[in-house]
Amino acid sequence: MIDCDIHPQVADPEELISYIDPAQREWFRAQGPSLGLPGYSWVHPSSWFRQDIDQNGHPPASDVDTVRRELLDPSGTDAGVLNGDDAVLVSLMPSPYRAAELARAHNEWLRERWLDAEPRLRASILCPAQDPQAAAAEIRRVAGDERFVQVLLCGGADRPYGEPRYLPIFEAAAESGLPVAIHSGGEGMGIAAPPGGAGPVTFYIEWHTLGSACSTMSHLVSLLCHGTFERLPSLKVLLIEGGIAWLPGMLWRLDTNWRALRSEVPWLDRKPSEVAREHVRFSTQPLEHTDGRDETLFEMLEAAGAPDNLVFASDYPHWDFDDPGFMLNRLPDAWRAKVLHENAADLYGARLALPADA
Amino acid sequence: MPNWVDVGSVADIERDGRLVVRVNGREVGVVTDGKGVLRGIRNRCPHHGGPLCLGRVGERVGGDPGVYELTGRWTLRCPWHGWEFDLETGLCLDEPTLRTAVYPVRVEDGRVLLGA
């Protein structure tokens, strides 16, 4: 089993600050526990995290032992990809300079505190997307360490990622043989546009329903329309935690519009849905809940490329995580091997190969 | 050899931009492409049956991402949903499973002859 979305937590801000350049430590320390990262307008009324995890007085999943004991060992996970949690919001900080430094520090923290400690773990490269040149430089700096298996961007952005100014990020990833993962989150925070397309929302429940899905759709449609995959034929994009039940409708709509509006994007010489099938992957969590109509959902998803475009993600240790065992039972028999293992193994290639003794 | 049918005068096309006539029970249009060549094409879009020949003639645009280039290929765009048909082949360029009939056209003494 390969888990494409595990969120390591920072036990103590000082732990991350120790990786920050001394000339910037005072600034980051002065920002308090957020380290200057933009935050939510709400606090989850019970908790952002699963409440059953033994925390030893720290946030859950803030040390390798806990992740081994709570997730990797019991689920039989062969490889798990660490995606920065709040830290992915570096891209939404007003200062691209602070963002670049925090991203760099977080990448080093992942390397030393997590990857060196557990051979089953892999990680995503954080980068300051608001400064694409700096982001590309950070990707190239870190990509040499093959335990980093992808680049991570957040769903929140001031414009969708197909915009040409973001191209250096995708070029650096493609050159390094890395997929780019876009993880929902951050919509409406810092310099990001509001979630949903109709202005700021009132409740966390609205944000959690709309933000993740809407930003994911926006980035997908933008990347397809701008011809990002025509420019970079080896590029793969993984969309994490944005849902997927909307995908068939969105692709059909895009294909239909393309037939009538192709002159706007004349570089698209085949149906966008075909390009999406080849280049875009989706994570399972949160696989939409269907009130017992899973068969209908799976049939719809097959029309949009599933199970070949689906990879498993637990979102551990968040409150809305998917238990690996539960997901194993929910998936159709014919999907299981592909979704739980094979598709992610294809996506990450040699970087996922585990040490012989693992 | 096609059966050449007189469908109107060149002056009609110059005045109206197109001719739409009924030939052998089917509506057929004659339009001028951007190079002044007359093209005959069935007046029915194979998508939803729209009056294809009332659409706009234009030169198809192509290019690499971020670049717009004229291709030299003249098309007719259905007035209903905007799907684009190659005037030479009748092929729907954006849905290659669809094609509409095209007809040879020649001009003799100011008259437009359609090969049906």
Tell me the per-residue pLDDT of A103-113, one tens digit each, with 9 for 90 and over. Answer: 999 999 999 99
What SS3 class is residue A211? helix
- Name the pLDDT band for A357 (thresholds 50, 70, 90): very low
Q: Is B56 on the interface with A (CB under 8 A)?
A: no
Tell me the per-residue pLDDT of B42-57, one tens digit each, with 9 for 90 and over. Answer: 999 999 999 999 999 9
- Residue among A164, A231, A266 minimizing CB distance to B62: A266
Beta-bridge partner residues of A239: A182, A282
pLDDT at residue A355, as a whole number? 53
- Residue among A231, A259, A263 minimizing CB distance to B95: A259
User: Which DSSP category does B4 fall into?
Assistant: E
**% residues pLDDT > 90 (chain B):** 92
Which parts of A37-142 fold into alpha helices (H)? 64-67, 73-75, 96-109, 132-142
Tell me the per-residue pLDDT of A61-91, one tens digit each, with 9 for 90 and over. Answer: 889 999 999 899 999 999 999 999 999 999 9
Residues A107 and A223: their CA atoms lie apart, in Å, by: 26
A309, two tokens: 């475009």
Residues A73 and A202: their CA atoms lie apart, in Å, by: 40
B69 to chain A: which residues are within 8 Å by CB?
A: 266
Q: What is the mean pLDDT of residues A156-168?
A: 97
- Name the pLDDT band for A358 (thresholds 50, 70, 90): very low
Q: How many residues does chain A have?
A: 358
Q: Is A227 on the interface with B (CB under 8 A)?
A: yes
Residue in A253, A254, A267, A274 to test binding to B, most B beta-carbons within 10 Å: A267
Q: Is the pLDDT of residue B1 over 80?
A: no
pLDDT at residue B31, as a whole number? 96
Q: What is the mean pLDDT of residues B13-17?
A: 90
Tell me the per-residue pLDDT of A17-66, one tens digit each, with 9 for 90 and over. Answer: 999 999 999 999 999 999 999 998 888 887 788 777 666 677 788 899 99
Q: Is B106 on the interface with A (CB under 8 A)?
A: no
**% residues pLDDT > 90 (chain A):** 81
Tell me the per-residue pLDDT of A139-152, one tens digit each, with 9 for 90 and over. Answer: 999 999 999 999 99
pLDDT at residue A265, as a whole number? 97
Q: Is A258 on the interface with B (CB under 8 A)?
A: yes
CB pair distance less than 8 Å for B94 and A262: yes
Q: Is the pLDDT of residue A354 over 80?
A: no
Residues B41 and B85: their CA atoms lie apart, in Å, by: 10
Residue in B57, B84, B94, B95 to test binding to A, most A beta-carbons within 10 Å: B94
Count CB neighbours of B82 within 10 A.
18
Sign of CA dihedral A172, A176, A179, A181: negative
Count CB neighbours of A133 within 10 A.
14
Q: Is the pLDDT of residue A168 over 70?
A: yes
Q: What is the mean pLDDT of residues A271-296?
A: 94
- B53, B29 contact by CB (below 8 A): yes
Between residues A222 and A289, the one the model is more confident about: A222
Q: How far is CA A23 from CA A17, A27, A35, B52, in A?
A: 11, 9, 15, 68
Average pLDDT across chain A, whole number:
93
Q: What is the mean pLDDT of residues A347-352?
A: 94
pLDDT at residue A21, as a whole number? 98
Q: Count of CB contacts below 8 A, A vs B?
A: 41
Question: What residue of A is the nearest CA neighbor of B79?
Answer: A260
pLDDT at residue A58, as a whole number? 75
Residues B92 and B109: their CA atoms lie apart, in Å, by: 33
Q: Is B86 on the interface with A (CB under 8 A)?
A: no
| Closest listed residue to residue A347, CA positions, set A3, A96, A28 | A3
pLDDT at residue B101, as a whole number? 97
Q: What is the mean pLDDT of residues A313-324?
A: 87
**% residues pLDDT > 70 (chain A):** 97
pLDDT at residue A356, as a whole number? 47
B19, two tokens: 């001719």
Q: What is the mean pLDDT of residues B12-41?
A: 94
A192, two tokens: 């990001």
pLDDT at residue A15, as a whole number? 94
- A217, A248 contact by CB (below 8 A): no
Q: Is A274 on the interface with B (CB under 8 A)?
A: no
Residues A23 and A36: their CA atoms lie apart, in Å, by: 16
Q: Is the pLDDT of residue B70 over 80?
A: yes
Beta-bridge partner residues of B19: B30
| Closest listed residue to residue A157, CA positions, set A107, A95, A92, A101 | A92
- To the nearest whole Å, the CA of B28 is away from the closest chain A CA by 23
Which parts of chain A fold into alpha helices (H)? 13-17, 22-30, 64-67, 73-75, 96-109, 132-142, 167-175, 204-206, 212-225, 228-231, 247-261, 272-279, 294-303, 324-330, 333-337, 343-348
Burial grade of A211 (CB within 10 A; 0-12, 13-18, 19 or more): buried
CB pair distance less than 8 Å for A226 and B66: yes
Residues B89 and A165: their CA atoms lie apart, in Å, by: 39
Q: What is the mean pLDDT of residues B12-38?
A: 93
Q: Let me know the angle formed at the C-alpha of A18 by A17 and A21, rounded to the nearest 5 degrees.
A: 80
In the block, tokens 């600034």 appear at: A27
CB pair distance less than 8 Å for B61 and A164: no
